[in-house]
Copies of this chain bind each other. A is one copy, B any other.
């Protein structure tokens, strides 16, 4: 029997009416001849409520108890979804993580899958059950305690089930109708993509196009799961939404598939750091230990000179809310004598802008086109980094919207390939 995995996020199951709507979509797939595994999130707002209670109770909470509490939101939705399907005459039952059992590591609040045994669910499919509704975001450790995967983990649950059950497709129903060339709120020419490569989606997801959790895309790429993003609030068919797939499944691609941005960036520069072997480790080790998520890193020769040995400027970016932590880590390292620098310059008024595309590998001149388009608008580039399929720049935040539109035009993203 062909099998589909369908995942519904929090806004798609926010109340009984929406659960009914989602169940209708499941029923349609059953009528098309599929067995279905449905992965559900908690009703929107519920997980935040539970997390709030835990944090108020115990700021430095025991993550095992945190997991036991916050996983309960998904359990409620799973039961309600099974009941809704039964009301529609679709044979369905709910499964909590420990009932499958979804085996994970013991890294509470950020657990990873170890195994998803098929036995229990397959036995019920064999008995005539058409839909297994599984609580997303959770699992169970070998100690028998409830674990969770971290926020947004239900996407990852969906992909993991699609891989374990060799599903024909993994459909992620959400509140947008697919993946766009850029954010439609910033650029009215933004166009929905029919297909996008895993690698591109990874860059877009980690760059703030928060349609899919990054780990779910990684997992889908590794296990070649056909992943589709589509809207739970529209009529959908087999061609709806955006298919996230292998590069080979995309016939022809443009140099650039999309423009991503992130407002939540700060640029920090250590001016005139002594330039010696091991200095990068001496800087970024303490930052990692302090939990700072360093993103871009650029090193260049300093104009200043403290008169001592050779010096360099080290620039990096991180989320704005981690600036204080980063500054403290640098000051502590200075006090400990492990690094020396003339000045720490912080710029919290920057934004990150990236163009992403697997076509970049075969198309020349992408960087030139990007820089020319920004220059034409008088936008100064502060930092540049590149990867195989991505070029990112930091610019003044006030120009972000203008820059997104300029790049969208420059790469003609409003037109299909």
Contacts and interface: CB of A to CB of B under 8 A. Distances in A.
Interface in A115-149: 144-146
Interface stretch (A67-75, A189-197, A291-299, A399-407): A67-75
Contact of A65 (B66, B93, B144): B93
Contact of A53 (B16, B78, B82, B146): B16
A167 to B, nearest CB: 24
Contacts of A201: none
A56 interface: yes
Contact of A83 (B61, B99, B144): B61
Contact of A86 (B65, B68, B79, B83): B65
Contact of A82 (B65, B84, B93): B65
Nearest to A68: B79
Copies in the complex: 2
Interface in A32-85: 50, 53-54, 56-58, 61-62, 64-66, 68-69, 72, 75-76, 78-80, 82-84
Nearest to A120: B144
B79 A69 contact: yes
Contacts of A75: 68-69, 72, 75
A249 interface: no
Given A65-B80, A68-B75, 19 more contacts: A54-B80, A57-B80, A57-B83, A58-B83, A58-B86, A61-B83, A62-B83, A62-B93, A64-B93, A65-B82, A65-B83, A65-B93, A66-B79, A68-B79, A69-B79, A69-B83, A72-B72, A72-B76, A99-B144
Nearest to A101: B144
A412 interface: no
Contacts of A84: 57-58
A71 to B, nearest CB: 8
Contacts of A66: 79, 83
Contacts of A82: 62, 65, 68
A80 B53 CA distance: 8
A293 B83 CA distance: 28
A331 interface: no
A16 B57 contact: yes
Nearest to A55: B83
Contact of A16 (B19, B56, B98, B99): B56
Contacts of A231: none
Contacts of A93: 62, 64-65
Q: Tell me which of A57, A72, A79, A144 has the highest count of chain B C-beta atoms within 10 A of its own C-beta.
A: A79
Contacts of A78: 68
Nearest to A59: B87
Contacts of A16: 53, 56-57
A215 B246 CA distance: 60
A68 B54 contact: no
A135 B297 CA distance: 49
B65 A69 contact: no
Contacts of A68: 75, 78-79, 82, 94, 96
29 contacts: A16-B53, A16-B56, A16-B57, A19-B57, A53-B80, A54-B79, A54-B80, A57-B80, A57-B84, A58-B83, A58-B84, A58-B87, A62-B83, A62-B86, A62-B93, A65-B79, A65-B82, A65-B83, A65-B86, A68-B78, A68-B94, A69-B75, A69-B76, A69-B79, A72-B75, A72-B76, A75-B75, A96-B146, A98-B98
